[in-house]
Amino acid sequence: MNCNLQIFKSNLIAFIILFCSTGVFTQNITVTGTVKDKVENTTLVGVNIIQKGTLNGVVSDISGNYSISVPKGATLVFTYIGYKSVEKVVESSSLSISMQVIDELLDEVIVIGYSTQKKTDKTGAVTNLKVEELNGGVLTDAIQAVQGKAAGVSITKKGGDPNAGFSIRIRGASGFDSNTQPLFVIDGVAGVDPDLIAPDDIESYNILKDAASTAIYGSRGSNGVIIITTKSSKNKQTNSDFVINEVNFSSQLSFSKVAKKFGIMSASQTRDFANTLLSEALPTHPNYTVDSVFVDGGASTDWQNEIYRMGISTQNNLSLSGGNQKSSFYSSLTRSNWQGVMRGTSKDRTNARISINHSTFKDKLRFSGSMAGSFENNDYENYGGWGKDDIIYQALQRNPTDPVYNSDGTYYKSSRVFNYENPISIINEVTNVRGAHEFLGNLRTEFDVFKGFTAAINTGFTRSDNNTNYFRPSGLFSSADNGYGRKQYSNTTDKLMEITGNYVKSFKDVHNFTFLGGYSWQETVYSGFYAQGGDAQSEFAGPDNLMVLNDVKWGDIGSWKGQWNLIGFFGRATYNYNNKYYLSTSLRRDGSSKFGSNNKWGWFPTAAIGWNLTSEDFMKNITWLNQLKLRASYGIAGNQEIGEYHSIVVWQPSGKAINPETGQQVITFSPAWNANPNLKWESTSEINIGIDFSMLKSKISGSLEIYKKTTSDLLGQYNVPVPPNLASKTFANSGSLENKGIELFIQYFVLNSANFKWKTNFNISNNTSKILNLGEYFNDVSGVRKEGYISGRGMVGEEYYVTGIMVGQPIGAFYLPKYVGLKDGKFIYESTSGGYTSNLSEAKRSIVGTAAPKIEMGWSNNFTLYKNIVVDFAFRAMIGNKVYNATEMFFDNAGNLPSLNAVPSAIDWRSQGRTSGSTIADIYVQDASFLRLDYFSVAYNFNVNKYPWLQKFTVFLSTNNLFTLTKYTGVDPETTINGLAFGIDQYNVYPKTRSLSVGLKATF
């Protein structure tokens, strides 16, 4: 033992001496040379020459010459905007090189449906985003990294709840009642939840926007397609030794706080108002005291401070990659924890992934497979309405003079009004959790049958399991409360098999063809179970002890199971003549079990053309223009995103009854909806015209897109009379809508000097929707489909809607009565009869704005200062969007004071004589345009040249949502964009957060 220890000490001392003396034995030499353009043979000025892995660098002078002192055997890296980088090992004191012009568009490969192609060969609207172009910081979902990066792609989230997802729309909404989220394809497997993949494992996003690009996915392509390519090994081994050639580690610690709170009255303001009421009452009630008009709880409580906190989050990622001459692997483990700024909310997730690639038979046979798993735990709090356990509503309405706790430490309860609860007791006593597991496995086999022809089989399997638990103990609420418990489990499995053949052929180096053919089969099966009840008979009861619930009724136990299948045959052919003229066409035929017997199958064709003008002889003399390409495409894509079995009658349990023949109690059944054998997919046809450009040796590049898409046969659920129908609901195709717009993307390498580099990306888009018709099934005589119903204290009824869906108007249009003043304390509106009225049902309504923005913008910048400081920031803006501030509407009612809380403007309303309660009006529609600094980061790259085992080491400081410029008075101008009635802020907005992160990244 002592001998071994002595040997270890000796080796350690020798290693330290060797490590510390490395620089002593290294001798530098001065290397000189000239840098030239490979084609024009002209010298290049301002080329960056850097010793790899260090900060040692110089810039070529006006004659293209340079001189640098480096150790012999070091590697010099030559970089220059618009040229391919060059790496050369120093073997002597003289080293001159030639650099070749590169247009990023010429070499960049993008992923399209079932294959890849050069970016210059594209004929459709495709946006490619690489990992270095994405947002960073606190990312609760992978798609958040894309926010503001792609023109025409709207990614929004209402507030900062770590458990809430993002709404995504590509070129506007393409449906009414169907799901309008895009299709996600991860490593060739369609329909996968992107949260299954950690952000650190993503290599690139390819966003297919026009129908000509998405129709290859048939009845799932009309909402756009987002293709995610994950990271794989960059193994460069040339022998059979299996090695780990790269290890990456990153760690981040984040602190988040509420960016803006809702402006309600304080305890002192409430007491002042109570004294005002007393002063007004004393002339007629001289014996009144403050207690006569107000029950003072004796405290000064900021209830928003009580329910909110500083959120602390951590994210850690470790990845390894390596291989040998024939095989490679990539594996990663990511551990993330996001603590919400609302107490009681959090998300904890572990992502694990491994991918393996292997080739054999002289690389003609290739295998690639991967497995990914996600394990997530969520803690929820309700905040989406005005119920007893809705935290935000209870905190906003609660009297600020009420304490949180009694003197004995128990929760303070008060029954000032109905539906009045202590939000802290709800946070601490209610259990509302979820555990979710998700798995993805896929295997792809490729074989080069003969030159140019590759056959492939791709299989995938996904499974997700969800276990949710809710428990509220008896007696928690101030009013009579029996408690409640529920436990639910569900799982979904998805199987995929796709067979493709791809043939590439060129004739005389000018006629270039590609042919793709394939078959796709997919099956989804889901099932679930729940049990619930009330009146727990033990104080130790919880969601795992449902047997102690004494109040269990019929319907408190349920289960379900369902499945759907999709089969598709597809093909695509492309041709280009000498990289000058392009032609592409595709066709897919899909069969879906979701649709009626008369419309199981559908055709989805496309055609596209392109013309690269810079390949023409008449453009040869325009040397500053690297690429100018015109594109035009037309395609038809579909949408099948509705529930299963909507084309047939589904009978469901509806209650209990006594069988008159036997006298026994039986369960009765009723039809959920009527059969419709003609039910089919939504169909979106789209025309897209595009221009790709690159100039000044690729310093400036970009694209311009103009499109018009029409979606017909909209899927929806409609009311029908009974009889003659069996049920009062029918799922049918009815109505059509149009989206048209323009998108611009520009990338500009502004500066490229030795000590200062600046790259900027800018995108701007406009999308306008218009409803063309509501279809034969819509039979409301008003011609308006009423959406966006507001509900709350004193507001229940058919007329409390704020959004109208009608022909000729956009989706998300606010359709409201015009407020003209007060009369007898009530809101007065313009009347449908031409006069004025206080009756909401008689008020004249009109369009007063839309929740959809007129313009969306994104602006990203990357700076490199003195070779080792990197600064990134990204702005995002929406202009012209409106928000209905229902929170303001509910809390500007002085009639609630002083028992309940209100906004200070409620006192102003009272001074004007208002006595009416909350009601809808156009005055609550506010301009919600905003400019937001989404992301700001400063990173420092250390010089690691002295440590051969370390390739890169970076520390960084970043912020998310550093500031927002807006006129909107609510907590956040950004709302979700899903559904028909969006842009409504109704005390259900989890506050937006402002985050500060510190972290490090290391590559070994």
Q: Token pair for residue 401?
A: 């003079």
Does residue 127 contact residue 207 with C-beta atoms inside 8 Å?
A: yes
Does residue 583 contact residue 597 with C-beta atoms inside 8 Å?
A: no
Higher pLDDT, 803 or 509: 803
Burial 358-373 (b: 16+ CB within 10 A, else e): ebeeeeeebebbbbbb
Averaged pLDDT, 300-328: 94
Nearest partner of 1003 among 957, 955, 953, judged by Cα: 953
Bridge partners for 605 per DSSP: 587
CA angle in degrees (0–180, nearest 5) for 888-894-896: 90
CA atoms within 13 A on the CB side of 609: 3
| Chain position carrying tokens 């906004």 | 903
> Where is mean pLDDT largest: 170-174, 275-279, 826-830?
826-830
Who's near 213: CB < 8 A, 6+ residues apart?
A: 112, 113, 124, 125, 126, 225, 633, 635
**Which pLDDT belongs to residue 180?**
83
Does residue 211 contact residue 634 with C-beta atoms inside 8 Å?
A: yes
User: What is the residue-averaged pLDDT of the chain?
Assistant: 90
pTM of the model: 0.87
Q: What percent of the chain has pLDDT over 90?
A: 68
Domain ranges of the chain: 14-102, 105-230
What are 668-722's pLDDT values in tens digits? 999 999 999 999 999 999 999 999 999 998 899 999 999 999 999 999 888 899 9
Instruction: Give one word for 833, left, alpha or beta, with left for phi > 0 and alpha for psi -120 to 50.
Output: alpha
Nearest partner of 568 among 461, 496, 462, judged by Cα: 496
Does residue 544 contact residue 536 with C-beta atoms inside 8 Å?
A: no
Does residue 880 contact residue 854 with C-beta atoms inside 8 Å?
A: yes
Residue 452 and residue 447: Cα distance in Å, rounded?
Answer: 11
Q: What is the DSSP letter of 905?
A: H
Burial classification of residue 639, based on how many CB atoms lie within 10 Å of its CB (0-12 exposed, 13-18 middle, 19 or more buried): buried
Residue 495 and residue 564: Cα distance in Å, rounded?
Answer: 11
What are 186-230's pLDDT values in tens digits? 999 999 999 899 999 999 999 999 999 999 999 999 999 999 999
Does residue 500 contact residue 459 with C-beta atoms inside 8 Å?
A: no
Q: Token pair for residue 738?
A: 């149009």
Burial classification of residue 513, based on how many CB atoms lie within 10 Å of its CB (0-12 exposed, 13-18 middle, 19 or more buried): middle
CATH no. of 14-102: 2.60.40.1120
Averaged pLDDT, 36-41: 82
**Same fold across 14-102 and 105-230:** no
Bridge partners for 348 per DSSP: 337, 377
Single-letter amino acid, residue 190:
A
**Which pLDDT belongs to residue 18?**
39
pLDDT above 80: residue 800: yes
pLDDT above 60: residue 667: yes
- Name which of 84-88, 309-313, 806-810, 853-857 the model is least confident about: 84-88
SS3 233: coil
CA angle in degrees (0–180, nearest 5) for 523-525-531: 170
Single-letter amino acid, residue 884:
Y
pLDDT above 70: residue 238: no
Assign 1 a pLDDT band (cuts: 50, 70, 90).
very low
| Chain position carrying tokens 């001998």 | 3
pLDDT above 50: residue 5: no
What are 721-732's pLDDT values in tens digits? 999 999 999 999
Single-letter amino acid, residue 385:
G
**Which pLDDT belongs to residue 466?**
97
Cis peptide before 721 (omega within 30 of 0): no
pLDDT above 90: residue 980: no
SS3 24: helix
Bridge partners for 458 per DSSP: 444, 498
Cis peptide before 660 (omega within 30 of 0): no
Burial classification of residue 445, based on how many CB atoms lie within 10 Å of its CB (0-12 exposed, 13-18 middle, 19 or more buried): middle
Assign 103 a pLDDT band (cuts: 50, 70, 90).
low
pLDDT above 90: residue 771: yes
Residue 799 and residue 299: Cα distance in Å, rounded?
Answer: 39
CA distances from 492 to 118, 143, 378, 437, 495 (A): 37, 22, 19, 11, 10
CA angle in degrees (0–180, nearest 5) for 180-184-186: 175
Residue 478 and residue 418: Cα distance in Å, rounded?
Answer: 9
Tally: H helices and E strands in the chain: 10, 54
Residue 378 and residue 992: Cα distance in Å, rounded?
Answer: 19
SS3 140: coil
Single-letter amino acid, residue 912:
Q
Bridge partners for 43 per DSSP: 36
What are 533-553's pLDDT values in tens digits? 888 877 777 778 888 887 888
Burial 668-684 (b: 16+ CB within 10 A, else e): eeebbbbbbeebbbbbb
Assign 22 a pLDDT band (cuts: 50, 70, 90).
very low
- Domain 105-230 is in which class? mainly beta
Does residue 936 contact residue 865 with C-beta atoms inside 8 Å?
A: no
Task: Name the phi and psi angles at 165, rounded to 5.
Answer: -90, 180
pLDDT above 60: residue 938: yes
**Which pLDDT belongs to residue 294?**
85
Residue 113 and residue 376: Cα distance in Å, rounded?
Answer: 30
Burial classification of residue 545, based on how many CB atoms lie within 10 Å of its CB (0-12 exposed, 13-18 middle, 19 or more buried): middle
Single-letter amino acid, residue 132:
E
Higher pLDDT, 879 or 52: 879
Burial classification of residue 448, based on how many CB atoms lie within 10 Å of its CB (0-12 exposed, 13-18 middle, 19 or more buried): middle
Averaged pLDDT, 747-770: 92
Assign 236 a pLDDT band (cuts: 50, 70, 90).
low
What are 153-165's pLDDT values in tens digits? 999 887 889 998 8
